[in-house]
Chain A
Amino acid sequence: MNAIVQPVKQFKTEQIQHATDDPRWVRYTLISVSLSFILLFLFLPLGLVISKAFASGWQAYWDALSEPDAQAAIRLTVLAAFITVPLNTVFGLASAWAITRFEFPGKSLLTTLIDLPFSVSPVISGVIFVLLFGAQGWFGEWLIAHDIKVIFAVPGIVLATLFVTFPFVARELIPLMQEMGSEEEEAALSLGASGWTTFIKVSLPNIKWALLYGVLLCNARAMGEFGAVSVVSGHIRGITNTLPLHVETSYNEYNSVAAFAGASILAGLAIVTLVLKSFLEWKQGRRL
């Protein structure tokens, strides 16, 4: 009754250009544009930073980094990161958990607000803290009366860094945890595990690469933040200068070796971050 369905004769595939392929010239133009852009705006400045830092030789480079103000700047940068990164890790985990696992009023508002530091200029983030804790600020009088210094002191720098970097961990975790759902956790609970055991043995292993990725980005930003910290720091050499601020101060004083030596450390941090980042991306890609 029906004609028998027969396979169509096979065409030779190599002669056919795939329907979804762009023409060759489009591909090559796009590739060369992006490559030359990277070359011009990334590798050229990076090379310049390194060559300037070593312009007066190894010894001058070493001296510029070991002078007390530079050392203090490095210590302060590490301290700020040391405080903010763990705090933001905990905050990021808690908020990602809350957003992906619970229903509560104001949930979408919280999701939006987490991104706020990304959409606001860092200078404004700094000014917020001056308005709150500065001498003329809301809490200014109370702080002076109790002899607590926030602005132009280490607490201000930590607060500003904290504010600027808090989205990183949460933003990495929320989409992942949304996609994974909570079935594995429910399974663990139904097998008799406590909430804590479930978190340690089931939730954390599933999100660990994304978490590390977020922590890494958070750390890079905490160490490199300039704008917000600049407003609250007051640029007191050896006391409230972080490494990025130290670079700027040195540069303004025409001490280019010191400036570029500091910059080379930040650039090195960036490269290490990039390498770790690709490693974590690869790990995460393999797991999921």
Chain B
Amino acid sequence: MSILIENISKHFGQFAALDHINLEIPDGELVALLGPSGCGKTTLLRIIAGLESADEGRIFLSGEDKTSQHVSRRGIGFVFQHYALFRHMTVFDNVAFGLRVKDKKERPSETDIAKKVHNLLELVQLDWLHDRFPDQLSGGQRQRIALARALAVEPSVLLLDEPFGALDASVRKDLRQWLRNLHKELHVTSIFVTHDQEEAMEVASQVVVLNKGHIEQQGAPADIYDHPANAFVSKFIGQTNVLNLNEDNVIWLKTAGIAVDDSKGNVAHIRPHDIDVKKADADSDSPVTLKDWQHLGSLIRVELYRPQDNGSGTYLFAEMPNERFKLLQLNKGDRVALHIKHAHWFNS
């Protein structure tokens, strides 16, 4: 079901959590609302769900105005960061809850409920836990049960509020993949909130970047990464080196292989993997030295130091594959030559 958010604003006292948000989410997408904490992403999700009301603006689900409809009638599924499972009910009763509270006319029989609950529990691969209580489960299991519970009422929209935020890093990685596969299977329009750009890139088909109550950019993960709309998005999505275009930097950038065009902006952002590092030749006058490096698994992150005329210096980060770093045979303190392949320009 498509979601249309029209001109939504929300204030908490003087603080504008959301400032005239307009957003359209087509049917069947898996969208990430991404932003730093306090950017309004959870508030927006809760307004779509009807758990919070907007000061102004409207919410449409499948073209139907749901702005003033109570949360229990909106047909949404909501998954909370801290699971919010009913602690006095078994896993089975938790998942069955949404079916059992339906009006008599729509309520399925207990046998149908049981069949459906077991199907859902199989879908989340936890049917063997059906008679346990929530406090007997691990965090990852709880969140999968919470998801099964939300899916039981066949919601037209699935809303997930930092669904993996309370989980261990390794469990989180598994669940991300699992959620993406589940979405492929069910095709229910889903929005999930996250502050983790890696998670957003990995799971979502569309990413919406929020900051201070505004939408900074919306698009496919690759678009946002390759063509950030502004300096905030560029810094928030992935790592980046920020260079102010003063005289010194302009000259240096030119020697590093980047043609500076100051009509495009006064700040250059350079991704770490867009910097090529190699050992400086003996006759090279490159002033950059290698300070340190960190092993990130398949990648090596290199810390580079560039002394500047006024006695201070700047640090730059570059990334390269493990193999390549080994071939370069670099040591701490070595002089290196840089070649910058690509930069983004912004005005700040």
B80 contacts A189, C-beta separation under 8 Å: no
Question: Who on chain B is nearest to A188 by CB?
Answer: B97
B residues contacting A by CB (< 8 A) are 49-51, 70-74, 76-78, 80, 82, 84-88, 97-98, 101-102, 146, 149-150, 152-153
Min CB–CB distance A103 → chain B (angstroms): 10
A187 contacts B101, C-beta separation under 8 Å: no
**How far is A188 from B76 in the complex, measured between Cα atoms in Å?**
12
Residues on B with beta carbons closer than 8 Å to the beta carbon of A186: 51, 71, 78, 80, 84
**How far is A187 from B51 in the complex, measured between Cα atoms in Å?**
10
Residues on A with beta carbons closer than 8 Å to the beta carbon of B82: 183
Min CB–CB distance A109 → chain B (angstroms): 19
Residues on A with beta carbons closer than 8 Å to the beta carbon of B98: 191-193
B101 contacts A191, C-beta separation under 8 Å: yes
Cross-interface CB contact of A205 among B88, B146, B150, B152, cutoff 8 Å: B88
**How far is A188 from B78 in the complex, measured between Cα atoms in Å?**
10
With A183-B80, A186-B51, A201-B101 already in contact, the answer to whether A191 and B153 are too (CB < 8 A) is yes
With A183-B80, A197-B101, A201-B101 already in contact, the answer to whether A190 and B86 are too (CB < 8 A) is no
B72 contacts A189, C-beta separation under 8 Å: yes
Q: Can you list 14 A-B contacts with CB-CB less than 8 angstroms, sorted by A residue number?
A: A184-B84, A184-B86, A186-B71, A186-B78, A188-B101, A189-B51, A189-B72, A190-B50, A190-B71, A191-B72, A191-B77, A191-B98, A192-B98, A201-B97
**How far is A188 from B82 in the complex, measured between Cα atoms in Å?**
14
Does A287 have its Cβ within 8 Å of any Cβ on chain B?
A: yes
A192 contacts B86, C-beta separation under 8 Å: no
B88 contacts A206, C-beta separation under 8 Å: yes
**How far is A1 from B86 in the complex, measured between Cα atoms in Å?**
53
Min CB–CB distance B15 → chain A (angstroms): 14
Residues on A with beta carbons closer than 8 Å to the beta carbon of B150: 190-191
A192 contacts B51, C-beta separation under 8 Å: no
Does A83 have its Cβ within 8 Å of any Cβ on chain B?
A: no
Min CB–CB distance B50 → chain A (angstroms): 8
Does A202 have its Cβ within 8 Å of any Cβ on chain B?
A: yes
Question: Who on chain B is nearest to A180 by CB?
Answer: B87
Residues on A with beta carbons closer than 8 Å to the beta carbon of B71: 186, 189-190
Quick one: which of A183, A191, A202, A287 has the most chain B CB within 10 A?
Answer: A191
B72 contacts A194, C-beta separation under 8 Å: yes
Question: Who on chain B is nearest to A197 by CB?
Answer: B101
**How far is A201 from B71 in the complex, measured between Cα atoms in Å?**
17
Min CB–CB distance B112 → chain A (angstroms): 16
A187 contacts B78, C-beta separation under 8 Å: yes
Question: Who on chain A is nearest to B95 by CB?
Answer: A191
**How far is A190 from B77 in the complex, measured between Cα atoms in Å?**
6
Residues on B with beta carbons closer than 8 Å to the beta carbon of A205: 86, 88
Min CB–CB distance A190 → chain B (angstroms): 4
**How far is A190 from B73 in the complex, measured between Cα atoms in Å?**
8
B51 contacts A191, C-beta separation under 8 Å: no
**Which A residues between 183 and 224 are near B, CB-CB below 8 angstroms?**
183-184, 186-194, 197, 201-202, 205-206
Residues on A with beta carbons closer than 8 Å to the beta carbon of B73: 192
B153 contacts A192, C-beta separation under 8 Å: yes
> What would 9 more interface pairs be, CB under 8 Å, given A183-B84, A189-B51, A205-B88?
A184-B86, A186-B80, A187-B84, A189-B70, A191-B150, A192-B101, A193-B72, A202-B86, A205-B86
**How far is A206 from B134 in the complex, measured between Cα atoms in Å?**
13
**How far is A36 from B82 in the complex, measured between Cα atoms in Å?**
47
B87 contacts A193, C-beta separation under 8 Å: no
Quick one: which of A183, A194, A197, A206 has the most chain B CB within 10 A?
Answer: A183
Question: Who on chain B is nearest to A192 by CB?
Answer: B72
Min CB–CB distance A170 → chain B (angstroms): 22
A184 contacts B87, C-beta separation under 8 Å: yes
With A183-B82, A186-B80, A201-B101 already in contact, the answer to whether A191 and B149 are too (CB < 8 A) is yes
Residues on A with beta carbons closer than 8 Å to the beta carbon of B86: 184, 187-188, 201-202, 205
Min CB–CB distance B39 → chain A (angstroms): 21
**How far is A126 from B214 in the complex, measured between Cα atoms in Å?**
59
Residues on B with beta carbons closer than 8 Å to the beta carbon of A201: 86, 97, 101
Residues on A with beta carbons closer than 8 Å to the beta carbon of B152: 191
Residues on B with beta carbons closer than 8 Å to the beta carbon of A190: 49-51, 71-72, 74, 76-78, 150
**How far is A129 from B322 in the complex, measured between Cα atoms in Å?**
84
Question: Who on chain A is nearest to B82 by CB?
Answer: A183
**How far is A202 from B87 in the complex, measured between Cα atoms in Å?**
9
Question: Who on chain B is nearest to A202 by CB?
Answer: B86
**Which A residues between 171 and 189 are near B, CB-CB below 8 angstroms?**
183-184, 186-189
**How far is A205 from B86 in the complex, measured between Cα atoms in Å?**
10
Residues on B with beta carbons closer than 8 Å to the beta carbon of A206: 87-88
**How far is A198 from B98 in the complex, measured between Cα atoms in Å?**
11
